[in-house]
Amino acid sequence: MPTELCLARLARRDWLTDGPLRELIASYVESLQTRRYADSTLGAYLRCLAHFSYWMRGEGLTAESIDLALIERFLRHHLPACTCPAPCRSEVKEMRAALHHLQALLPEGDDGVTTTTPLAAELKRFGDHLRHTCGLAPPTCTYRVRHVEAFLVGRFGSDAPEIRLLAARDIDAFLNGLSAHWKPASRKVVCTSLRSYLRFRAMLGDDTRILSATLPAIANWRRRHPPKVLSDVQLEHFLQAFDLTDPVGLRDYAIARCLLDLGLRGDEAAHLTLDCVDWRNGVVMLHRTKSQRVQHLPLPVQTGEALGRYLREGRAQTDSRALFVRHRAPFGVPLSVAAIRNAMNRAFVRCGMADRFCNTHVLRRSMATRLQKTGASIKEIADLLRHRDLNTARVYARVDLERLRAVALPWPGSES
């Protein structure tokens, strides 16, 4: 549909044509149509933009002023107290989606991060250190920066952090504030983030030895129970929960096979591309791994069959090289980790196991448990799971309860 026809259907089209967004409308419409959004959705998003454009004109803003902070200001402060003339679109969730597409058309700064405050500049330097010096995976960098930000904001606000002003009581107060809602394992991760930041500051010349010693060793007996995994019967029911006559079902089944047969993490499955599968040699190459190394895995027959059927019969027509793509607008966009997680959760609901299992990691653990039951060594399991530390995989040495019962000595006084 031409842009002129899209605008002709808007009651407040003059808010767009005479506003600060007029130069972006044509590219906005083209972008959504390329990704095959429905005309009704496109019209709703244009109404959202019209409202945003009207507000910007009233504030004396131009398109160059648009950034994440401005969008959040509009959503959080203007919409709840909006007095703009009717009709105007004001539903927050819909408005956020429309402005997300608009933001994608704007030139981005370095990583899209604004450094307007001393604290933001400090966090950016810390994030760059994690990525480029430590070589950590992007998700790890993200949550470490987020934890450090929460700590520094609570102590310094938006001012530049001064390490010399930090004391042990500041760390204790921060961690005690997390204890009411965070599990020990999560608080342990926060301590790791803070310790990483203190090492970063020590590299810059600050004396952080006392602060590092202040960080507690949080007790977490996470291995007191065997890992939660699917039994053979549960696994069969789970795999039967996918509709293999539907393109989405074929895609989700292929994802499930990758998680179960290859032990992939959700992030690794989301970043698989068509070039990752070497069909001739039966190998899957992982380029996006937690260790930041390219790794090769054998392609099992059942996994290859599921992927082949999905590619022949289910995958949407798209120029994207991503293996798993969306089947709804925006079409052809690679699936996110959240989308893969939701697909597996819907399968657990369909097979009636949502009260016991969720997310993707249980499938990875189930794969390791099946290997252990077939006699694979801990070293072999660690290699297939791509664990750099052998201790991480040792939990699977004690999950086969039936074998343990077979070799256990009778309890004194019990019947033989």
From the list 37, 253, 310, 396, the catalytic residue is 396
Cα angle 229, 270, 246; round to 5: 80
The residue extents of the domains of the chain are 3-107, 118-214, 232-403
What average pLDDT does the chain have?
A: 85
- Other CB atoms within a 10 A radius of the CB of residue 6 amount to 21
Minimum mean pLDDT range among 215-229, 236-250, 325-339: 215-229
Q: Is 224 a catalytic residue?
A: no
What pLDDT, on a 0 to 100 scale, did the predictor assign at position 321? 93
Query: Confidence band (pLDDT; 50, 70, 90) for 111?
Result: very low
Is pTM beyond 0.95 here?
no
Over 80: is that where the pLDDT of 405 sits?
no
Q: b/e for 98-118, b at 16 or more Cβ within 10 A? A: bbebbeeeeeeeeeeeeeeee
Q: Is 265 a catalytic residue?
A: yes
Q: Per CATH, is 118-214 categorized as 1.10.150? A: yes
Under CATH, what is the fold of the domain 232-403?
hpI Integrase; Chain A (1.10.443)
pLDDT (tens digit per residue) in 81-101: 888 888 888 888 888 888 888
Query: Confidence band (pLDDT; 50, 70, 90) for 109?
Result: very low
What pLDDT, on a 0 to 100 scale, did the predictor assign at position 114? 45
Minimum mean pLDDT range among 24-38, 250-264, 306-320: 24-38
Over residues 236-262, the mean pLDDT reads 95
Distances (CA, A) of 83 to 24, 62, 141, 248: 25, 21, 41, 43
Q: Report whether 10 contacts 46 (CB < 8 A).
A: yes
User: What percentage of the chain reaches a pLDDT higher than 70?
Assistant: 90
- Other CB atoms within a 10 A radius of the CB of residue 256 amount to 24
Q: Is 361 a catalytic residue?
A: yes
Q: Are strands 283-286 and 295-298 parallel, antiparallel or unpaired?
A: antiparallel
pLDDT (tens digit per residue) in 194-234: 999 999 999 999 999 999 998 988 776 655 566 788 888 99
Query: Confidence band (pLDDT; 50, 70, 90) for 191?
Result: very high
- Cα separation, 105 vs 340, in Å, equals 26
Query: Confidence band (pLDDT; 50, 70, 90) for 414?
Result: low
Cα angle 321, 316, 341; round to 5: 80
Residue 331 carries which side chain, given as an amino acid letter?
F
Over 70: is that where the pLDDT of 23 sits?
yes
The phi-psi region of residue 259 (left if phi > 0; otherwise alpha if psi is between -120 and 50; otherwise beta) is alpha
- Cα separation, 257 vs 260, in Å, equals 5
Over 80: is that where the pLDDT of 72 sits?
yes
What pLDDT, on a 0 to 100 scale, did the predictor assign at position 127? 92
From the list 290, 309, 386, 394, the catalytic residue is 290
From the list 271, 364, 365, 370, the catalytic residue is 364
Q: Is 387 a catalytic residue?
A: yes
What pLDDT, on a 0 to 100 scale, did the predictor assign at position 223? 56
Over 80: is that where the pLDDT of 404 sits?
no
Over residues 107-123, the mean pLDDT reads 65
Q: Is 290 a catalytic residue?
A: yes
- Cα separation, 295 vs 62, in Å, equals 47
Residue 316, classified by CB atoms within 10 Å of its CB into exposed (0-12), middle (13-18) or buried (19+), is middle
Cα angle 407, 411, 412; round to 5: 135
Q: How many residues does the chain have?
A: 416
Over 80: is that where the pLDDT of 165 sits?
yes
Q: List CB contacts of 88: < 8 A, sequence separation 6 or more.
A: 12, 47, 50, 51, 54, 82
From the list 12, 271, 315, 387, the catalytic residue is 387
Phi, psi of 298, rounded to the nearest 5 degrees: -70, 145
Query: Confidence band (pLDDT; 50, 70, 90) for 110?
Result: very low
From the list 51, 131, 265, 365, the catalytic residue is 265
What pLDDT, on a 0 to 100 scale, did the predictor assign at position 351? 94
Query: Confidence band (pLDDT; 50, 70, 90) for 284?
Result: very high
Query: Confidence band (pLDDT; 50, 70, 90) for 386?
Result: confident
Helix (H, G, I), strand (E, B) or coil at 4: helix
Helix (H, G, I), strand (E, B) or coil at 297: strand
From the list 361, 373, 386, 394, the catalytic residue is 361
